Structure 1
Amino acid sequence: MEQSASPRPPAGMRWIGGAFFALALAALLVHFSTKYGLNVPPSATGDEPSYDSIGWELSHGRGYRIDYTNPDFLAPYLEASRAADPPLPVPEGRTGPTAMRPPLFPLVIGATDLLFGRQFQAIRVVNCLAMAATCGLIAHVACRYAGLIPAIVLAGGFLVLDVRTRLYARAILTEALACLLVAGMTAALLRYRRTGGWGGLVAAGLCLGLAVLDRPMLIVWLPVVAVLVPVCRVPRLSRGVPRLCEPCVVAVVFASAASVVIVPWMVWNCVRLEAFKPLGTQGMIELPAGFSDRAWENGGIWRLQSADDCLASVEAQGLTGLAWEVALADCRRELAVGWMRENPVRSLLLGLLKIGQELWPRSVWQGVLLVLAVIGIVTAADRRVVLVLVGIIAAQLLAIAMTWSVEGRFMVPLQFPVYILAACGLGRLLAFFGVPAAPSPGINSNIR
């Protein structure tokens, strides 16, 4: 019978998670306040205004829609535009109901707008809290599994050296919340590995469900992680349950906890769109960006879609709102699927190109992180935990291969498992050179 995968850290080491959470939160808030300002509007040319608009409409009870013509919504963008030389662009685009954005982040924005009115600082504080909590979890779990020195180095690197932490803590985008939810899921699975308690398993499923509501591409994770969950630790159930059924019970508990969160949104999408589109319309509308001649020329990197025959056809029908999105999604899905059928080899190679684009380090720190994570994968003795962490990473790489690359952005939700593996790799390197990393052996011990 398996024992706990790692002993409880000594009392003197239990403060590290909270300390890094407080340090990260203070550092991020002070940095953003002094360098940029917390209440400045985001860029009007990316995804941020759409989340901002949906949140604003929700806070006023007008439903799940975008309205770039609302004067209260536009006021801060216009003020920022007039103050700049040359003037900055302001949000432009379609107005009306939408199913292109997932619901969790707009709901959080709507809650902050309801509480504080028209502003941007509250949602940025939420993002800073999410990134700071991720930093604290990295420190705490890395300390348990790899030691105090690797925990300090990796949590410090996450805060100071990883530009993605600062970028996505400030951007009004889904990445910060996704980071925290994936960290919560992974930490809950590691707790389940140590204790065998069902609470950790249910918490992991709920975190994944919320993560899907934040970033729908993570739906690909559900079957992958559900298969991996029994690898963590399969408890001995009652005598009436055949031993071969135990892994199935564990997987079903995890998948059910996630589905409780995900399924109502899927049903809502299908009902309001009057079509089987449980994840909304964005994925299908953007699918040619991942599978087309242009995607091949771009090496699988997403580019803003230009006008095409599908858009012309939908515009010619005079459709608006959700009907416009459904028609465009259907047309572009057929376009992308047709290209894949005609180009099966290129489709497979595109998947590999997209994965390579996301994994490729874009800074020295990202390169160091990748090397340390590979060392951790190869050398850590607790292969079950390594398999789970690598499986979570592989699930996201599969999702990337099925969609498109954004030059590293889709790797941001994987910060926690990557940093934990890197901490274990650093712990092994320190041990190789005779430097004691910690009194707690954790993942780097082969405890049966």
Structure 2
Amino acid sequence: MTPGEPPTSRGSPRGASPRSAASPRSPQLGGRKVTAPPYWQWLFNRDPQLAPRSPMASTQHFPPQPRPMTRSNSAPLELSYGHSSPTGVGSVLLAPLSDAASFLAKAAQLSLHTDPAKTMSCCNQAVALGPDCTQAWRYRALARLQAGDAGAAVEDLTRALEVAPSTNLWEQRASARYSARDFAGAAEDATKAIEEGAGFRAEIWRRRGLCRLMMQHYEAALADYDMALKLDPCHGLSWRNRGAAKLALGDKRGAELDTSEAIRLHPIADNFLQRGKIRLECTKYEEAIRDCTEALRMESKADAFCVRAVAKKHCQDLRGAVADLDEAIRCRDFHVKARELRAETKLGLGMLEETILDCDQAIPYMPDPSVLLCCRGNAYFRKGNYQSAAEDFKTVLQYDPSSQLAAKMLDKSTQSLKHLASWDLKMLRDRSAFDDVVITADLVKRST
């Protein structure tokens, strides 16, 4: 051994590495070299539990093998392992679209690109091959929600809940039922989700509070929004909706404070408009006009023009109110409330023909046209058309027999008709006597 040469083990050939005899990277079995399988080999082993394993192969993989997918009872056994897809619903495993899991993965991918038709096609085949595949029902429900078919989405989520109930599915069905305007069912599903452990999330309390607000259960809605704001005090919509519940319960001051907090967090047009409505209820007309003006600066909305018109009417600015109502009708042509308000305001300005025209256009769209009939009856009465006025007031009494105003105006219209009839008869009698005098005088003149 020369100086500087590393020592070699006895019996090994000169120049051979000491690791070459028994290297863990190239184990020797029966005199032949065996290469350990690469760490990614498990991807292609469709059934790793039954596949033969080398005794020298390590039981640990690098990187570690991910947790196996949840397999439905109808899915093939070979699909129970594999890489999780980016959507988190399964693995394609380089296989054609011939099984429920592959169809589901493709549907999830398409749903990310908002293609409901293709998503529903894949999900239809997925549920046909695997009717107990929860995610297939779920993704088809989401596709149907995107397509606007909330009722069918509720049915799909119901099937998913029958297979594997979860808080996520309860929440999603609550959203679908709300979209289908089944507020009671949506509130029940939200309650179930809270009972199953979702009560730590502010979103579920907001959802149930909105359902109860739509059902006019204001006390219960207020309690839900209290809890939602306790969990998430920076959510502006929760402040606004709690303000609506307080206004319905008669707490106008509390409603104004809550809506002001919503404006502080999110100064958007809807928040300013709601505070304008609340201040109109509080008879703060100048402040209501300012809020509506701010809302209209951000977004032109017919409701904001209407609220500002009512506030201006209370401030005796009738022409300004008419101008705002003209803009409201320009924003929404069939805004019946705006036409009703404009008819009343024009009647106050003495614009009788325009009042009658607005009433004629709005009455066919009103389920209860009593206000418009009274307005048109007054316009007819002031024009001297007592017959048309009496007919309008009679119709009002058919809708509302307790209307004292209609009964009073009907009586005045009837009396005016009687006076007019008697005055016409007197005029006819006087004219007949005058004619007789003229004829007699003419005869006397001729006889002389």
TM interval, shorter chain, is under 0.3
TM-score, normalised to structure 1, is 0.23
Q: Which has the larger radius of gyration?
A: 2
Identify the structure with bigger relative contact order (alpha carbons < 8 Å, sequence gap 6+). Answer: 1
TM-score, normalised to structure 2, is 0.23
